[in-house]
Each structure stands twice: as structure tokens, then as C-alpha cells.
Amino acid sequence: MGEIKHLIIVKFKEGVVVQQILEDLTKLAAELDIIKSFEWGKDIANKEILTQGFSHVLVLTFNSAEDLAIYVNHPSHNAFAITFRAAIEKMLLLDYPVVLAKP
């Protein structure tokens, strides 16, 4: 199947220190070799009608669906997920195989 993206679009709760969450996820990504890459971004358009309050996107890349499954069940991920879930108001999550349309 090839590369898998783990895409999370997030609206954080009011008062959450987002930078700490991002630092914790960056540290987790550095610790786990099964994570091929980690990137994140913050919306710059601020168009509430389009974003529905979502402000950040987090993308982890894995070499395979098997690596993603290992990540999802890894104790370090599970520990991070407790803090992450407590910090978010709502989120969207998609796991999908990469289809490269233009390199």
C-alpha cells in the first residue's frame, strides 16, 4: 500500500497552551522510529465560516499501515493521547494512503 498519512485537524480548548502540546508531539515523533515524519501548521486565514473554529493541522507520516497500527497502540502514544484529548474541543482525524499527484 505504501506511505500512510495520519491527519488531525484540531480546535483546541480556550486557554490551552498549544505550544506545549506541539512540543510534546514533536518529542514523541523523535522518539519513535516508526514515524517517518511529523509536520504541523496553524491556519492563517482566520475565516471562521470556512474553518468552523479548527485552527491547527497535525500530519504524521508512516511507511505502512502496520507502522500506523503500532503507533496507535504504542504506550507513549497512549500517554500523549490522554493529555491531547483533554486539550481539544473538537477534531477531525483521517488516515489515508498517499497518492502522489505531483512530486
- Quick: pLDDT tens for 68-94: 999 999 999 999 999 999 999 999 999
Given this model, what pLDDT does residue 23 score? 97
- Whether 7 contacts 103, CB under 8 Å: no
pLDDT per residue as tens digits for the range 26-57: 999 999 999 999 999 999 987 777 788 899 99
Give the predicted TM-score (pTM) of the model.
Answer: 0.92
What topology does CATH give the domain 4-96? Alpha-Beta Plaits (3.30.70)
Report which of 9, 13, 8 is spatially closest to residue 87, judged by C-alpha positions: 13
> Residue 103's pLDDT is what?
83
Domain spans of the chain, in order of start:
4-96
**Residue 1 predicted with pLDDT over 80:** no
